[in-house]
A and B are shown apart, each in its own frame.
Chain A
Amino acid sequence: MLTPASDEHLRFPIGRPQLPTAPLTAAERAPYIQQLADLPAKLTAAAQRAGGERLQLPYRPGGWTGRQVIHHVADTHLNLYSRFRLALTEDNPTVRPFDEAAWAELPDVAATPITVSLALLESLHSRWVILLQHLTEAQWQRTFYHPRYHTTLTLDQALVQYAWHGQHHLGHVDLLAI
């Protein structure tokens, strides 16, 4: 029987995110933006290393398959991209959580090749990264409210959280590529 502690390294292969408490400088932001820019290619490379058969396996006992992880990253990042746009066009908007476990069980996830979500991420991250590269210092301090966690995040904090989210799931696919 796995205890939460014993599979922490599988659940959180790159650890848990550390959110900044003060505004970031442009130099501090750059590596996070770069992680988002690089994620589609890195996820594609990791998926190729894992191979089609291993992507059908869960990355940990009871976890999502590699295929579910990749479709989940696409679905999540569609939402995260939208949260940035909401925060830039409304004052401290309340964003819309979604049931990620239920979304990963919808029938397209089993039926669509992962190449579709990898291509989706490539296009989506292109638009997202260009947007991020054009934000002013004041815009980075704009906020949104997440009703499930009862937290208000600045876009600086969201950048760190969402860059982490991509690396986190890349770590899961990497577990299948070993």
Chain B
Amino acid sequence: MATQVGPERLHLPYRPGGWTGQQVIHHVADSHLNSYCRFRLALTEDNPTIRPYDESAWAELPDVAIMPASVSLALLESLHSRWVTLLHHLTEAQWQRTFYHPETKRASTLDQALALYAWHGRHHLGHLALLVS
């Protein structure tokens, strides 16, 4: 999708006042590395409290404006490879393990987290599709 958008249009916001395509892609990498860690925490601790982060502030850190989107796309390729292999090996019991999100004050099963994070990826893919001219 980033290739379809092209490097110049990745510097445009996908909506007025929104993130640029480049910020969206770096955000997906940052977000999914946290999501991957939340799965691992839920599999190794009992209903762990996970660590939220300030996604708006993270997207303003200086590496986001400087790094080519290709770096985060490569990061996602590697990260999702490990994540998907992990998911393929989970037992039914493990899918019902939970973590607690202190901001939303909700516990999620890994089944629920799977649906949420799969949506999250497609959600931001939809933003990039808006930038395809």
Partner-B contacts on A (CB < 8 A): 71, 74-75, 78-79, 81-82, 85-86, 88-90, 95-96, 98-99, 102-103, 106-108, 111-112, 116-117, 119-120, 122-124, 126-128, 130-131, 134-135
Contacts and interface: CB of A to CB of B under 8 A. Distances in A.
A102 B77 CA distance: 24
A85 B44 contact: no
B61 interface: yes
Given A86-B53, A120-B82, 12 more contacts: A85-B58, A88-B61, A96-B51, A98-B41, A98-B44, A106-B86, A120-B79, A123-B74, A123-B78, A131-B62, A134-B63, A134-B66
Interface of B: 26, 29-30, 33-34, 36-37, 40-41, 43-45, 50-51, 53-54, 57-58, 61-63, 66-67, 71-72, 74-75, 77-79, 81-83, 85-86, 89-90
28 contacts: A74-B82, A78-B33, A78-B36, A82-B37, A85-B53, A86-B51, A86-B53, A88-B61, A89-B61, A96-B50, A96-B51, A98-B40, A98-B41, A102-B43, A108-B86, A111-B85, A111-B89, A112-B82, A116-B78, A116-B81, A117-B78, A120-B78, A120-B82, A123-B72, A126-B67, A126-B71, A130-B63, A131-B62
A116 B89 CA distance: 17
A127 B89 contact: no
A25 B50 CA distance: 35
Contact of B43 (A106, A124, A126): A106
Contacts of B79: 78, 120
Nearest 7 A-B pairs (CB), nearest first? A120-B78, A123-B75, A107-B89, A89-B57, A102-B44, A134-B62, A96-B51
A127 B44 contact: no
A127 to B, nearest CB: 5
A127 B85 CA distance: 24
Contacts of A117: 78, 82
B34 A82 contact: yes
Nearest to A90: B54
Given A85-B30, A127-B71, A106 B44 contact: yes
Contacts, number: 106
Given A116-B78, A123-B72, A131 B44 contact: no
Contacts of B29: 127
A127 B53 contact: no
A119 B74 contact: yes
Contact of A89 (B36, B51, B58): B58
Contacts of A86: 51, 53
Given A79-B37, A96-B50, A116 B82 contact: yes
A134 B77 CA distance: 26
A108 B85 contact: yes
Contacts of A106: 40, 43-44, 86
Given A78-B33, A82-B34, A119-B78, A131 B63 contact: yes
